[in-house]
């Protein structure tokens, strides 16, 4: 497709067919979304319908990139041919006017027309279906200029009899065709860049998997995998499907999906995602989801759907673009009549010049590209930085939000407890190993964090006898005949454990600071206490300062206790917060902000924040639990990096600016260019555009929109450089 009229023609043609329910064509993304009755059509039938209009339909996803690459190579070849001949034609015609044989200009122009032959073939196919597009305008304009010049070359005496010089406009036909090809080549390159996010995701999926059956391994295409199959993954191999580790251990690089920069240790019972990379170790995976049911496939589909999205304003722009073609034809016809009746001599020449200029300058390409091309590049750029856009309208609206509501756990904080302080009545390596030996037998996150902090991973631990775990209270066990207990203050109090006064004072101070506390005891006396906190995410403070400097109100909502919330708001200088907030209360809080006139963006972990995310003007899910996050928000920040929220805001701001500038330029160009090409200024200034200038202006309008949209590609992630 070459302009918004192409998209409209395909869309209206398909909608008129019986058995087709809906049809949406996106010009910038070059995609067709169609709902049809399966008993009436198949994919090949749809392809034949599209081919009737002179277009083609790529049915298989894996062929899209190949098709675009081939088209780009073909365009590049034809562009070089066109430029190689058009530039000499323009130079000879303008620099040596009247001194170069017309036959020489004809010979140089023919290869240019051959390079741009699809303009004329497409216009003819559309005409047979009583439709018109940009190709119609360009082919009529350049065709008229070429035919008139050819007539003047073959039979110059006919014009001599009329008392006018033989009109030669070979340079107009050649330069216009070359300019159109240049614009299309740049557009195709930009589309290819915009689709690279999807292509990179597609390359994450391996082609084969090592399936384990009856004790033997067999390499099979991933299409053969079924839920329940066992697959062995060796070092250096990508995970072929979503599933659960049942044997072995490995360090898996999940950065492509979650943004986590370091490999994650995977043990039996832990989940693996298709497309992630096993860096070290070997595991056996039980397949849970394959093919289109994997998280990777969902992400690819999200990006593809978002890039094909049409903003509400784009539907109005599309309608205006389709009106431009008949309006231009009408103005060209009216201009020819008025100049032939009222214009100065030679009237025929002026009538032809103005009508051809109107046809060439009226291309609706810039208008059709203004919004969708910006969305295409914006969504692709977001995907490259780990931001999944489910609704591009939300990306556009993010920078208009005046209030930002943040969850604490998993959003501003890591969501994992870390030991921040420890107090010992009496410390020894033997005691540390004994406590670690008991804690590693518990599955509680606090126990695992403490065990990791007490001893080195390679350090040998003593045997534990009589291990007991009381959920939500504590654990106990015997090591070398001594009874060790670890748990809450209440748990130890019920066991009759005495806490020395200094330890009690330290615990009281930690409680006031909002820390979670574990106390350790040996036999009947407390010997140590440990304070845990959910630490802030990297860049959280910088991100909060960034939004505050732009006047965005920051609100913290958490279900945690007030002390923990206060510790975070003090560290981040957040003024508004509410603790012990239930999911329902969070949603009500968002509504109250909206009633005060705020546009609200909510950032949460995508699970317990679902009501608030759904209520907000823009819902943003953060976290490495990407399967849950995909279902809960319009934007997803993979991996939980709060830095990406700043990038998303800047991308939104830049996207709005680019769209506004694109639309302003495209509308302004068409409003001014058409009357000027028709000769409105001639009676006052003597200004009259030549067909070559009109054609070049048309091409430059599209190129300007392309270059303007390309600015979205240069936006960078670093917090310290954003917003400048």
Task: Name the residues annotated as catalytic.
Answer: 407
How far, CA to CA in Å, does 684 sit from each of 7, 332, 671?
39, 20, 19
Q: Check whether the bond before 5 is cis (ω within 30° of 0).
A: no
If we measure between CA atoms, which residue out of 406, 387, 299, 394 comes closest to residue 647?
387
The radius of gyration of the chain's CA atoms, rounded to the nearest angstrom, is 34
Q: How many angstroms separate the Cα of 550 from the Cα of each of 401, 597, 650, 722?
A: 11, 17, 11, 12
Q: Reduced to 3 states, what is the DSSP secondary structure of residue 484?
A: strand
| CB-based contact 7:368 (threshold 8 Å) | yes
Q: For residue 113, give both structure tokens.
A: 């027309």
Candidates 609, 43, 655, 636; CA nearest to 302 is 636
What distance in Å separates the CA atoms of residue 243 and residue 125, rounded to the nearest whole number?
Answer: 51
Helix 643-678 and helix 312-342, axial crossing angle in degrees, nearest 10: 20
Under 8 Å between Cβ of 721 and 201:
no
**Of 387, 413, 639, the residue nearest 533 (C-alpha):** 413
Rounded to whole angstroms, how far apart are CA atoms 483 and 465? 9
Q: How far is CA 74 from CA 110, 406, 630, in A?
A: 18, 50, 39
For residue 582, give both structure tokens: 């239930």
* C-alpha–C-alpha distance, residues 7 and 325, integer Å: 13
Q: Please write down the HEC assignment for all residues of 83-121.
A: HHHHHHHHHHHHHCCCCCCHHHHHHHHHHHHHHCHHHHH
Alpha-carbon distance of 469 to 487, in angstroms, equals: 10
Specify the residue for token string 């008139």: 148
Q: Are 364 and 321 in contact (CB under 8 A)?
A: yes
Q: Are 562 and 579 in contact (CB under 8 A)?
A: yes
Q: Which of 239, 246, 164 is nearest to 206 (CA)?
A: 239
**Residue 335 Cα distances to 156, 348, 356, 465, 680, angstroms:** 26, 11, 10, 100, 10
Give CA–CA dist 622/608, Å, rounded. 12
Instruction: For residues 141 and 145, give the distance between their C-alpha atoms in angstroms, rounded to a whole number.
Output: 6
């Amino acid at each position: 497709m070459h302009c918004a009229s192409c998209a409209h023609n395909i869309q209206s043609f398909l909608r008129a067919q019986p058995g087709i329910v809906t049809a949406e064509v996106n010009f910038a993304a070059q995609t067709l979304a169609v709902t049809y009755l399966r008993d009436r059509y198949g994919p090949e039938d749809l392809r034949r319908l599209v081919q009737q209009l002179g277009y083609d339909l790529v049915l298989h996803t894996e062929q899209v990139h190949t098709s675009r690459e081939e088209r780009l190579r073909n365009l590049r070849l034809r562009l070089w041919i066109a430029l190689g001949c058009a530039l000499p034609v323009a130079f000879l015609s303008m620099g040596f006017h009247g001194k170069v044989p017309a036959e020489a200009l004809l010979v140089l122009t023919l290869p240019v027309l051959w390079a741009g032959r699809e303009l004329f073939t497409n216009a003819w196919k559309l005409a047979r279906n009583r439709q018109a597009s940009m190709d119609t305008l360009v082919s009529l304009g350049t065709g008229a200029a070429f035919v008139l010049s050819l007539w003047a070359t073959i039979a110059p005496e006919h014009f001599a009899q009329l008392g006018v010089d033989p009109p030669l406009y070979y340079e107009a036909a050649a330069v216009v065709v070359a300019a159109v090809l240049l614009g299309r080549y740049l557009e195709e390159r930009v589309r290819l860049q915009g689709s690279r996010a999807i292509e990179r995701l597609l390359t994450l999926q391996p082609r084969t998997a090592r399936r384990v059956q009856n004790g033997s391994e067999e390499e099979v295409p991933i299409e053969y995998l079924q839920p329940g199959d066992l697959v062995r993954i060796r070092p250096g191999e990508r995970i072929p499907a979503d599933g659960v580790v049942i044997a072995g251990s490995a360090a898996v690089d999940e950065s492509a999906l979650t943004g986590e920069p370091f490999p994650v240790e995977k043990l039996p019972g832990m989940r693996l995602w298709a497309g992630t990379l096993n860096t070290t170790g070997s595991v056996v995976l039980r397949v849970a989801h394959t093919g289109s049911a994997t998280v990777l496939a969902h992400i690819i589909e999200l990006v593809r759907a978002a890039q094909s999205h049409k903003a509400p304003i784009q539907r109005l722009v599309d309608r205006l673009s389709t009106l431009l073609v008949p309006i231009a034809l009408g103005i060209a016809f009216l201009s020819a009549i008025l100049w032939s009746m009222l214009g100065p001599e030679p009237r025929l020449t002026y009538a032809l010049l103005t009508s051809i200029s109107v046809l060439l300058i009226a291309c609706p390409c810039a208008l059709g590209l203004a919004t969708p091309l910006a969305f295409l590049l914006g969504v692709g750029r977001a995907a490259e930085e780990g931001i999944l856009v489910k609704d591009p309208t939300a990306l556009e609206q993010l920078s208009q939000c005046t209030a930002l509501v943040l969850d604490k756990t998993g959003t501003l904080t890591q969501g994992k407890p870390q030991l921040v302080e420890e107090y010992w009545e009496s410390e020894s390596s033997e005691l540390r190993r004994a406590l670690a030996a008991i804690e590693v037998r518990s599955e509680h996150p606090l126990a695992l964090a403490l065990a990791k902090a007490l001893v080195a991973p390679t350090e040998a631990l003593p045997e534990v006898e009589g291990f007991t775990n009381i959920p939500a209270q504590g654990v106990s066990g015997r090591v070398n005949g001594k009874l060790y207990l670890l748990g809450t203050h209440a748990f130890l109090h019920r066991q009759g454990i005495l806490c020395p006064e200094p330890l009690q004072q330290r615990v009281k101070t930690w409680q006031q600071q909002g820390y979670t506390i574990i106390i350790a005891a040996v036999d009947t006396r407390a010997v140590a206490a440990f304070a845990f906190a959910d630490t802030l995410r990297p860049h959280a403070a910088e991100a909060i300062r960034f939004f505050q400097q732009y006047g965005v109100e920051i609100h913290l909502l958490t279900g945690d206790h007030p002390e923990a919330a206060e510790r975070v708001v003090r560290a981040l200088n957040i003024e508004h917060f509410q603790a012990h907030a239930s999911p329902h209360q969070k949603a009500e809080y968002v509504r109250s902000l909206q009633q005060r006139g705020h546009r609200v963006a909510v950032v949460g972990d995508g699970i317990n924040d679902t009501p608030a995310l759904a209520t907000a003007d823009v819902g943003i899910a953060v976290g490495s639990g990407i399967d849950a996050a995909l279902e809960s928000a319009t934007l997803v920040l993979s991996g939980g990096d709060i830095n990406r929220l700043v990038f998303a805001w800047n991308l939104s701001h830049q996207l709005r600016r680019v769209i506004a500038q694109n639309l302003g330029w495209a509308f302004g160009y068409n409003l001014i260019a058409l009357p000027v090409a028709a000769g409105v200024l001639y009676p006052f200034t003597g200004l009259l555009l030549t067909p070559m200038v009109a054609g070049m202006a048309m091409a430059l309008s599209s190129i300007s929109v392309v270059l303007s949209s390309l600015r979205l590609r240069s936006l960078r992630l670093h917090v310290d450089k954003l917003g400048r």
